[in-house]
Structure 1
Amino acid sequence: MPFSLKGVAYITGAGSGIGQHAAYAMARQGVRSFALIDRNPVTHTVQHLKKMHPDIKTLEIEMDVADEAAVNDSIEQTVKEFGRLDYALNNAGIGGALKTTDQIDKEDFERVMSINTTGVWLCQRAQIRQMLKQEKWSDSYRAYRGSIVNTASMYGKVGPTLNVPATAYATSKHAVVGLTKADAIAMAPRGIKINAICPGYVLTPLVESTMDKGSVMDAERVKVPIQRFASMEEIGDVIAFLHSDASSYVVGSALVADGGFTIQ
């Protein structure tokens, strides 16, 4: 079915990459109110959104998702500015060091977990608490009080390859999948839809800069059955779908978008 999105979106990691392109995808489907959260300025994202649709309204917040007080305050600011919260994308994250368990320091491991897992949990907890206070966005049987999507990874479903020993990252993303499933079960009867997206390799500017012939990332690319990495726009479109009425019966999913990498 064709779908449109109407309401208020809250996106972490909105300054670049998947978060930025998820905002663009949601704007194409109709969202006109955005709370854009990032540790860095979201100026480029805001400029592009308003170029797409001059009537778009934005709330820009610089924040570390591992800061509990700041997370709670950001939700309060969003509701004060826009009246409610309909769509949340918990996307902020870091890759961490490419090290195996015997190599990584405790501090490095805990930093990855604090942002990629605890940060998602803090944001989701605040979002759930707000969504439970509000009514469904329509009378349709497909409607919810709110929709949450968490950015996991294909490495939240399988272990990382020998070429990419991202132990801390994979651990954190497996935890995001578990959090998504646990809260989806608890919140679905209460009118909140929660899912995760598990992207494969995405052609971000950072990845693109490493794609020299013979590089680790070039070697990983040839393992993808469709022989390419995802564009950021493709992943943004999947996120918009997960927030839409078209996915109204998709609950607790860890939707894999990896070009077939993990089916091998």
Structure 2
Amino acid sequence: MTATLLKGTAYITGGASGIGRATAFGLARHGIKRLALTDISQENLLATSEALKSQYADVEIESLQLDVRDVKAVDYSITQAVKRFGRIDVAVNVAGISGAGKATDATDESDWTSVLDVNLNGVWRSQRAQVRAMMKQENLGIRKGRGSIINVASMYGLIASPVDIPATPYTSSKHGVIGLTRSDAITYAPHGIRINAICPGYVRTPLLQLATERGSMDPEIAKTPMGRLAEVEEISDAIVFMASPMASFMAGSALLVDGGYSAN
């Protein structure tokens, strides 16, 4: 791949840590020169922005603190990104939480609603604002269109979470993200907006790394044919592909990147 695989402006929610941070670096590495980086943590935003600028000095960064539960803040962040950069070519919705990890009978309604409000409603709020902005943009042809949106779901959006890992709110929210992705994909594909989802398996985030060191992830890693966790860069590479003209005929897809877990 060359640094010209991507061009234009990208916008990322949850872009200052984990998969979001890796995606910011991946997009910059492959040609994005204008980046609207949003995250709930101002501290992480500052650190990620500084790290990006040190490695990619020619990338312009708009850092915006954002809680995707706040519809006004979501709309404002898109407005600011367009105001500064003119358009949004790629939008990646990463922001999400894992939740309490309890079985349904032990889950409070507040636990349920908090996960759904971030993981599903937050993606909907973000995608709505992104679509509204993209619909006003010039269509750059069949390979680029008006823009590309990638929603980060999970393999749990296509399969159930294991019995020993109760995650019904999280799993339900990720199934919802895939439904949202597919429904909006067929609505907006005729307008030159591609909407797809990516479904990672177990990824080496700080939380899972700690669980791995304690051995509590061993049974799940054993179920993964590749026998390991994914690195965040492996997920961001797949996102770069989906954002690029190489995926120009993809719409409504739920791309599994799970080391073969769901094929068992």
- Name the TM tier (shorter chain): over 0.9
Counterpart residue number, 1:92: 95
Unpaired runs of at least 5, structure 2: none
Report the AA paired with residue 243 of structure 2: H
Measure how far apart 1:14 and its partner are: 0.8
Counterpart residue number, 1:167: 168
Counterpart residue number, 1:181: 182
Counterpart residue number, 2:5: 4
Counterpart residue number, 2:242: 242
Measure how far apart 1:212 and its partner are: 2.6
The 5 Å alignment of 1:198-209 reads: 198-209=199-210
Aligned counterparts of 1:97 and 1:188: Cα–Cα separation in 2: 36
1:219 corresponds to 2:219: yes
Report the AA paired with residue 129 of structure 1: R
Measure how far apart 1:236 and its partner are: 0.4
Name whichever of 105-114 and 35-44 sits farther off.
35-44
Counterpart residue number, 1:74: 77
TM-score, reference length from structure 2: 0.96
1:133 corresponds to 2:136: yes
Unpaired runs of at least 5, structure 1: none
Measure how far apart 1:53 and its partner are: 1.2
Aligned counterparts of 1:144 and 1:45: Cα–Cα separation in 2: 29
Aligned counterparts of 1:218 and 1:44: Cα–Cα separation in 2: 32
Measure how far apart 1:206 and its partner are: 1.9
Aligned counterparts of 1:58 and 1:121: Cα–Cα separation in 2: 24
Counterpart residue number, 1:102: 105
Q: In the alignment, is the contact (CA less than 8 A) between 1:155 and 1:174 conserved in 2?
A: yes
Aligned counterparts of 2:123 and 2:221: Cα–Cα separation in 1: 28
Spell out, residue by residue over 1:205-227, the C-alpha distance to the aligned partner (whole angstroms, 9 max, x if none). Answer: 22112213532x12211110010
Report the AA paired with residue 256 of structure 1: L
SS in 2 for 1:116: helix
The 5 Å alignment of 1:224-235 reads: 224-235=224-235
Aligned counterparts of 2:76 and 2:90: Cα–Cα separation in 1: 17
Aligned counterparts of 2:238 and 2:39: Cα–Cα separation in 1: 21
Aligned with residue 55 of structure 2, among 52, 56, 66: 52
Counterpart residue number, 1:30: 31
Report the AA paired with residue 172 of structure 2: T
Measure how far apart 1:90 and its partner are: 0.7
Percent identity of the aligned residues? 49
Q: In the alignment, is the contact (CA less than 8 A) between 1:212 and 1:218 conserved in 2?
A: no
Aligned counterparts of 1:60 and 1:214: Cα–Cα separation in 2: 37
Aligned counterparts of 2:59 and 2:12: Cα–Cα separation in 1: 15
SS in 2 for 1:93: coil
- What is the aligned length? 261
SS in 1 for 2:223: coil
SS in 2 for 1:209: helix
Counterpart residue number, 2:120: 117
Q: In the alignment, is the contact (CA less than 8 A) between 1:13 and 1:38 conserved in 2?
A: yes
Write out the 4+ residue segments of structure 1 that deviate beyond 4 Å after TM superposition.
Answer: none
